[in-house]
Structure 1
Amino acid sequence: MDLKTQALRTYRAILRELPRRTPPSPLQTRLRTLYQQQPSQTPQAKTEGGEGEGQLQMKLQQAEQWAMYARAQRKYAALVERYNPGATLTEEEKIRLTARRVGWDLPDLSEVEGEKGGA
């Protein structure tokens, strides 16, 4: 596979793992500029007199590893949420759900506080 095809595949894999936004995030904008640059336009190429194909290949492999890591983190977060659904709940929500589990319905605290203030 040539470098251009590999770069395009890696770029798309990274973008799939980032949240979609209507205005692109600064990270997405930076990634786009990095992938659009020709090898002779990169800052290292100006100082080193040009990048070899080996260095570009190494950078693409690092980008692929980052995309795999981001994908794994996303899947991990989804599994944690799936198997520990109460992990992100507030203390009040946990108490309300525990009460409902044993058949109780807690009163709405906003209604109770409104009665105290009016009386």
Structure 2
Amino acid sequence: MATPSKLRSIYRSFLRELPSRPVSATSRTPLQMRIRSTIASETSTSIEHAEQFLQYFKAQRMYATLLERYNPGMNMDEEERVRMTARRVGMELPEEFSYAETTLKGEEKE
């Protein structure tokens, strides 16, 4: 049987791994309530499963961190990715030509 301090430690570890939310008693998500009720049931298999799920959550968080770190252009649009790739090899992309802008500038001069 797990001690109350061990149960509390596991529960707090889960809360650290979950996305942060405003602190209030009514803002608990269904997942947080489910984790709390499962840990509170104090069966040995549920504690073992909780520890396994905790390891899984930690691994998923680390995976997301590493994915963001080693694939920085993953969330960029195509134009931004091309510009950053050009800068990486020491080049700058030329400014894009817009026919509409040149006709407007030409009309202003007259």
Q: What TM-score comes out, normalization by structure 2 length? A: 0.68
**CA separation of 1:36 and 1:84: change in aligned 2, threshold 3 A:** closer
The unaligned stretches of length 5 or more in structure 1 are 40-52
Q: Deviations over 1:89-108 (max 9, x none)?
A: 22121112123334214537
Higher helix share: 1
Distance 2:72 2:61 in 1: 16
Distance 1:65 1:113 in 2: 61
Q: Which amino acid aligns with 1:100?
A: R
Residue 79 in 1 paired to residue 66 in 2? yes
RMSD of the alignment, in Å? 3.2
Identical-pair percentage: 40
Q: Which residue of 1 aligns with 2:28?
A: 24
Deviation at 1:78, TM superposition (A): 0.9
Runs of at least 4 residues of structure 1 off by over 6 A?
A: none
Q: Which amino acid aligns with 1:71?
A: K
Q: Which residue of 2 aligns with 1:45?
A: none
Q: In 1, are the aligned partners of 2:10 and 2:50 still within 8 Å (CA)?
A: yes
The unaligned stretches of length 5 or more in structure 2 are 106-110
